[in-house]
Structures are given as C-alpha cells and as structure tokens.
C-alpha cells in the first residue's frame, strides 16, 4: 500500500512511471536508444536518443500505451547481474549509453529491473506493480545533452508527472497552467519590462518600466540600509586574479569566471563582491569601538553560465547583488545574525511573501578552513535561529566553500519554493587577508565576516515577483499607477489638466488619448495590468468627479480628484 505522505514513495512511483514511458516509446520506436529516467521534483523524465523528433501526436500514442501497460499490472522485479552479463545484453542492443554507465560500476553493484517485456539497467527503487500508477501525464519534450555536457550528443527528454490520485494531479496541472500564464519571460514581453538579445546572451536589457521596478527594489533596500547603519560602497568590476587566488575563488569558482589581460597582467571580472569589500575594510585602521562595520553594495557581478541552464531573469550571466558584509567581533556575531534574520523576514513580508522556510547549509566537501572553525561558524547560525524560536532544517554539505550559511526559501502565490536570501559566516577570509581590529586590551584581533544578500540577485528577485503577482503589482511597485482614458477627442484638454494634477501629486500616470472606443481602452488597460483607470468624458469634466476603475474590472464609482489622490497615497504608503 502506497503512503501518500512519504516523499520516498512518491519518488518510487515517478521513477517507475519513467520505466513505463521508456517501455511505451520502444514499442512504437524500437530503434530508439534509451538512456536514463530519474524521478525529479514534481515528476520524472526519460532521455532518448532518436533521429526524428517526438511530436505531440507521438506523445498521445505513447501516453495511451502507457495506460495499457498500467492496466496489465506488470510486476517490477529487480535482479543482480554480473558485469559481463550486463555488457553482453547492452552490446546486443547497440546501446552505448548503458555501456558507458556500466564502465563506472563495480562488480556486485549492477542490477536489472524488469517489468513485462521491458528491462532497464537500474539500481532500483520501484513500486510493486504498474497498476499502482493511478494518475500520470506527459508534459513536454526538450533537448538535453547526455550527462549534461555540451561535448556530448543532444538527446530528447520527455518530461512527465505522476501522482497517487487524479485529484492531486489535477491540482498540480492547474497550478502548472497558472504558472505558464505567469511566466516572467512572457509577461516581461507583454508588459514591456525587459528583453534579451543575441549580442549579449543571457544578459538582460531593461526597458523603462522594467528599469523602474529594478530601481524601486534598490530604493526600498537603500532605505532599509539607512535604518541598519550600513555604509554603501562601490568596488571595481575588474580586479587582479591574484586577489581571487588569495580569496579562494580562483580555485573554487574559476570555471564560472570571466578573465581578461592588460599590460601583461591577468585580471578577472568579479563574480562576487566580497574580496572588494575586504580591501575596503583593510584600507583603514579599526578599533573595537568601530565594529560592527557594515558595508553594502548594489554590485554588478558576472558569472559564466552555460547557455543550456540560463533562464530569463532567473539565471543570467550578469546581475546585481544586494550584497553586504558585516565585520564584527566574535562576541557580536550572534546579535548580528539575529538582526539579519529579522531584517530578511521583514523584507520578504513587505513584498507579500508570508510563507518561507529556513535551512542551515553545512561544510561542503570542497572547503577552506579547519573543522573547528566550521563547527564554530555553524553553531553561531543554528543557535541564533534556536534563540529566535525559528524552525530550520539542515542541508548537509551545501555550504559555501568559505563558510556555512542560512538559506531562506520563500513560497510564491502558487506555493512554489524559491531559494533567495543567505546569511553566511566566514572566519577564513579575514584570516587569508590578515584583517584586524584593535581590541580594548590593545591587542590586534581578527574580525569575523558575515556575507549576506536578501534579494540574492535583483534580476532574479524581480523575476520571482513578476510570477508571484502575475504581473499585477501592488500600487507602490507598479511602473504605471493610473492610466487616463478619454472617451472622445473633445475631452483630451480636460484630461491633460487632470494628468498634470496627478503627476504633481507624485502619481505615476500614463494617458491614452487615442480616438478608440472606451471599451477597447479599458480592456487594454486590464491587459497591461495597470492598477487604476481614470475615465474622462462629458460628465467628469462637468461635475469634476472622476470615474475610477480598479484592476480586475472593478467599478469604483465617481469621486473628487483630491479624494482619489489621497487614497492612492495612502495605498502606496501602506505598501499593501
């Protein structure tokens, strides 16, 4: 009996459905070479090597055959095989992918999984019978390099999902459809926010409205920096590669960095802001009275990402971090961490993210510093969370190479998780760069360094916001707050006077004076997701009462302009 509350069992179900998919594909396309088919978050996929592309019609046929396999109640059986036996089996089927996987396996750890006439090289993890698959759906086809390497052949990846019940799947598919409508790339184009161009791949071109949103995120965070006694700084984008070697980034992050050379000297374009802030701290003398020193920068960084993994605003090659580094005494560490946790929580709630989870990521395999330092740094994070009464999980081995971190995962309006902010404790970089402060006993001591980002990346956070709100931003964030719509040409001059009054009051307006039907203008305003529309006709100019409509086709009646302005300002100030 499958227990729906166990993630492991859901993975078994989905992994088994991937096998059913492969079996169905081979029935119709026996020349296809099968590769791998794991369970993934929200579903499964299987990669195929096939000369002709899979069509929508193919997926319909395959899906129907999968249902037949499920109805047959085929039993999944796992059996150990010798390496030579496995090699003979896949050589007979001329499958280089399975043979490559076998080369990495040792004798005694090789198993086949069989259901009906289908056999796969698999370590196991399956349901008992195909009949246990109660709800499944094939979703899409995409290209995928074998083993994720661009040097290898491009395969065809069929994505699907499976659930324990049809209602669960229907809920998921509904959410998936809603997510497609909210896709930030689609809305970015429709709302004229940003674009991408081949002349600068995976680097965003912000249009005026998108750049307004970008700057609004910075302006809001800048106001919070003033409250938190930060010093806003700026470091250069290009620094000597010696600096990156000293910081450890060259050894641990080199494959994601851009390099350049001038006057026989090697430089790197910064992928992170921390070494620049270390140099700024080191530039002066510091007393224990000065600490904590909090340096913040909206720093543009550059990281090489393969073209296959870039994704709209969510994964780009150039982005701006809302980065800050705290240099503090060890005894100040806990207070600084706790203040940052509260700060981060407040920011997310301001943007409408009421639900979030927290994890502490611990020492990775590739790390700088002693085990003792890592334990001390990790304890400072877990104790801070414990003292605040905030629950958290542990991500074993997922910390940065220089220190453990708190990771915040926010949940959007569709319940989807997004990993955003981090708070990282670093004892190693102050040691590597010889950072000091003079303590009250006159002795020179090392500060502790805290790395923190709340948005993470402004571009990525903006992409999340677009999808969270579906492009329908709250009034304080909306690039255009009110669109003025005239009914006829004779109303244009009066509408212009109203527009001037709104602009003078600090309201962001856009006017549509075109000789189009008012119904068309209203529909277009809805499509553009403008919060309010002010309709100007004979009655409005005669009475001075403005007909106002709210987003979502809400008729708010006719009101004096002064009252409308007052209410708009109140809504903006509340950030509701």
Residue 274 falls in the annotated catalytic set: yes
* Cβ proximity of 465 and 478 under 8 Å: no
325 is catalytic: yes
User: Residues 125, 126, 132, CA angle at the centre, nearest 5°?
Assistant: 155
Q: What region, left, alpha or beta, does residue 534 occupy, with left being phi > 0 and alpha being psi -120 to 50 degrees?
A: beta
Q: Single out the catalytic residue among 303, 317, 452, 549.
A: 303
In which element (H, E) is residue 142 found? strand 135-145
Of the residues 325, 345, 452, 491, only one is catalytic, namely 325
Residues with Cβ within 8 Å of residue 296, at least 6 apart in sequence: 225, 230, 231, 232, 233, 322, 323, 324
Q: Which of 33, 122, 274, 483 is catalytic?
A: 274
Length of the chain equals 576
Contact in structure between 323 and 273 (CB atoms under 8 Å): yes
**Annotated catalytic residue: which of 47, 322, 323, 426?**
323
3-state class of 27 per DSSP? helix
Which two three-digit tokens encode residue 100?
A: 């490559």
Please spell the DSSP secondary structure of 539-564, one letter per residue: HHHHH-EEEEEETTTEEEEEEEHHHH
Verify whether residue 321 is a known catalytic residue. yes
Active-site annotation holds for 19: no
Residue 371, preceding peptide bond in cis (omega within 30° of 0): no
CA dihedral of 218, 222, 223, 224, whole degrees rounded to 10 = 110
Task: Name the catalytic one among 137, 363, 405, 529.
Answer: 405
Q: Give the Cα separation of 19 and 70 in Å (integer).
A: 11
CA distance 155 to 171: 30
Q: Could you confirm whether 451 is annotated as catalytic?
A: yes
Catalytic residue chosen out of the listed positions 451, 452, 483, 508: 451
Which residue is catalytic, options 23, 156, 321, 481?
321
Cite the active site residues: 274, 303, 321, 323, 325, 405, 451
């Amino acid at each position: 009996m499958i227990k729906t509350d166990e993630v492991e069992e859901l993975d078994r179900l989905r992994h088994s459905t991937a096998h059913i998919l492969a079996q169905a594909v081979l029935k119709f396309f026996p020349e296809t070479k099968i590769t791998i088919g794991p369970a993934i978050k929200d579903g499964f996929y299987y990669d195929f090597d096939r000369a002709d592309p899979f069509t929508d019609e193919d997926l319909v046929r395959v899906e129907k055959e999968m249902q037949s396999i499920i109805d047959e109640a085929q039993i999944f059986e796992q059996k150990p095989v010798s390496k030579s036996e496995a090699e003979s089996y896949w050589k007979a089927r001329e499958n280089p992918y399975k043979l490559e996987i076998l080369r990495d396996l040792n004798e005694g750890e090789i198993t086949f999984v069989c259901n009906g006439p289908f056999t796969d090289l698999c370590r196991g993890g399956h349901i008992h019978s195909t009949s246990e698959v109660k709800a499944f759906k094939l979703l899409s086809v995409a290209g995928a390099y074998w083993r994720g390497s661009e040097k290898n052949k491009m395969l065809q990846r069929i994505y699907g999902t499976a659930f324990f019940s049809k209602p669960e799947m229907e809920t998921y598919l509904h959410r998936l459809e809603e997510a497609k409508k909210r896709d930030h790339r689609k809305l970015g184009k429709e709302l004229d926010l940003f674009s991408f161009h081949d002349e600068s791949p995976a680097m965003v071109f912000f249009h005026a409205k998108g750049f307004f949103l970008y700057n609004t995120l910075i302006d809001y965070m800048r106001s919070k920096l003033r409250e938190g006694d930060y010093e806003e700084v700026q470091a250069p984008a290009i620094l000597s590669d010696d600096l990156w070697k000293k910081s450890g980034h060259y050894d641990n992050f080199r494959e994601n960095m851009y390099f350049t050379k001038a006057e026989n000297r090697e430089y790197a374009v910064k992928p992170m802001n921390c070494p620049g802030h270390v140099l700024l701290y080191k530039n002066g003398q510091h007393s224990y009275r000065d600490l904590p020193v909090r340096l913040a920068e909206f720093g543009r960084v550059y990281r090489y990402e393969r073209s296959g993994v870039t994704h709209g605003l969510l994964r780009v090659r150039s982005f701006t971090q809302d980065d800050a580094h705290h240099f503090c005494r060890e005894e100040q560490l806990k207070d600084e961490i706790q203040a940052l946790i509260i700060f981060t929580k407040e920011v997310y709630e301001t943007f409408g993210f009421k639900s979030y989870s927290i994890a502490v990521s611990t020492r990775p395999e590739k790390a700088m510093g002693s085990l003792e330092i890592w334990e001390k740094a990790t304890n400072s994070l877990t104790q801070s969370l414990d003292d605040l009464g905030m629950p958290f999980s542990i991500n074993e081995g997922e910390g940065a190479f220089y220190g453990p971190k708190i990771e915040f995962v926010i949940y959007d309006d569709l319940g989807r998780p997004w990993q955003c902010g981090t708070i990282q404790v670093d004892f190693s970089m102050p040691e590597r760069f010889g950072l000091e402060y003079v303590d009250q006993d006159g002795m020179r001591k090392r500060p502790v360094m805290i790395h923190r980002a709340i948005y993470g990346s402004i571009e990525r956070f903006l992409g999340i916001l677009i999808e969270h709100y579906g492009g329908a931003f709250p009034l304080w964030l909306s690039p255009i707050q009110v669109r003025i719509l005239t009914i006829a040409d004779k109303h244009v001059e009066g509408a212009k006077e109203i527009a001037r009054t709104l602009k003078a009051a600090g309201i962001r307006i856009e006017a549509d004076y075109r000789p189009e039907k008012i119904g068309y203008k209203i529909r277009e305003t809805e499509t553009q997701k403008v919060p309010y529309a002010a309709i100007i006709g004979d009655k409005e100019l005669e009475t001075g009462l403005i007909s106002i409509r709210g987003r979502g086709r809400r008729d708010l009646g006719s009101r004096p302009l002064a009252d409308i302005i007052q209410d708009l300002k109140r809504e903006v100030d509340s950030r509701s």
